Structure 1
């Protein structure tokens, strides 16, 4: 897989103009201009840059999870260094919007270098972009205009601090708007939880747990066509529990049913649920229920 260590090399590959700054590029078509068109398709590649882009689709569809959504109001997409990128010619973007790319070293020695790693939306898939309302889009565009002014002007000793300050503001607004999106997509969140539990049930009923062990969250997220981080964030916002906590809740609920069968030992129950070590199952059960599996069985045994 091809990897680009510098911003210039990455932009050259995309067939885009070289940057005004060796570690920062700003392409903006908020007014009357148009964004330059990158190459139409690419095999998987990686680079050492962050990317923040506002895109509008004029042809083709992108999925948000398993559901198609209208991107005509703009989709804000965040990409972190070393994420695998790949695209083809099936999706055509309007040449409006903006694209900000900056090398991770551009942030060295700044507070944003640490803060940016806390923004989970940089871990989301492109199909989990931030969908902006027209009002939100204007707010983001005003910040980008300030960044573009500093970028296009003759840069001085204050330019970098001003640009980083504006980038920090942009990310804070994005974080706020993602909170709004999670709240507005309550129905999607509920559907995601239902799909999550359905997949666990299918795994369990097929004997997958006992044969292969407990499936990982990343594996389940892949089956749901979302990223691991997005799955956990969505469930956390809606239910107060992370995907790992929901997985544990499912396991404990199944354990309660199996424990009522007096013919199975505690170890057999643990193995059936995919636990490699029965003592870990017992500790988790007691942590969640306040009593041990054997005590639970004794308390609720069938007469």
Structure 2
């Protein structure tokens, strides 16, 4: 691009500048600028598609492994990327960290098990990969606003009334 600009300047400085040449050079310059703009748009679209594919793959792996006591590094490794990159993708798509998405999936399953089974809270915690019942209860209460036992009780009341 600097060469084209220099050529235009050289032509303008001529004693009798040829404006047809300047118009042609301007046209070439605009064509080059548009080409660069399209590349940026395409790069952004390709990046978004790649992120969407990676995110869908993460959700598939999460669905197969959410009951295991594994963290962000495990999922990132399965996707052949860094934990930071996986977190960036999740932030871009859901505005949540990988950890938050994992905890949300576990919470959904915990609620399902609390409603549909007679398993103890300790059994549910263990089944979902929590080593400590108290940690599970704290995470549940933080996310759901009530304890697992309060949730189970309120659901029983809803279903029997």
TM-score range, shorter chain: 0.5 to 0.7
Q: 1:218 pairs with 57, 69, 73, which one?
A: 73
By percentage of residues, which structure has more strand?
A: 1
1:255 maps to 110
Per-residue CA deviation, residues 235-273 of structure 1 (Å, 9 max, x unaligned), is 112211011111111111111111113410011000000
By percentage of residues, which structure has more helix?
A: 2
Long gaps (5+) in structure 2: 1-34
Q: Does 1:200 align with 2:75?
A: no
2:23 maps to none
Is the Cα–Cα contact under 8 Å of residues 186 and 238 in structure 1 kept in the other structure? no
Q: 1:185 pairs with 37, 43, 47, which one?
A: 47
- Please report how far the alpha carbon of residue 295 of structure 1 lies from its aligned counterpart in structure 2 after TM superposition: 1.1
Alignment root-mean-square deviation, CA: 2.5
* Count of aligned pairs between the two proteins: 121
1:197 & 1:271 partners in 2: Cα distance? 22
Q: 1:298 pairs with 143, 153, 161, which one?
A: 153
Long gaps (5+) in structure 1: 1-133, 137-176
Per-residue CA deviation, residues 77-130 of structure 1 (Å, 9 max, x unaligned), is xxxxxxxxxxxxxxxxxxxxxxxxxxxxxxxxxxxxxxxxxxxxxxxxxxxxxx
Written as runs of structure 1 = structure 2, the 5 A alignment for 1:1-303 is 135=36, 185-204=47-66, 209=67, 213-301=68-156, 302-303=159-160
Is the Cα–Cα contact under 8 Å of residues 267 and 278 in structure 1 kept in the other structure? yes
TM-score (norm 1): 0.36
**Closer, same or farther in 2 for the Cα pair 1:272/1:185, shift >3 Å?**
same
Q: In terms of Rg, which structure is larger?
A: 2
- Please report how far the alpha carbon of residue 219 of structure 1 lies from its aligned counterpart in structure 2 after TM superposition: 1.2
SS state at 1:249 partner = helix
**Closer, same or farther in 2 for the Cα pair 1:182/1:265, shift >3 Å?**
farther
- Please report how far the alpha carbon of residue 288 of structure 1 lies from its aligned counterpart in structure 2 after TM superposition: 0.7
**Closer, same or farther in 2 for the Cα pair 1:228/1:267, shift >3 Å?**
same
SS state at 1:229 partner = helix
Structure 1's consecutive aligned runs of 4 or more residues displaced over 3 angstroms after TM superposition are 181-184
1:274 & 1:248 partners in 2: Cα distance? 11
TM-score (norm 2): 0.65
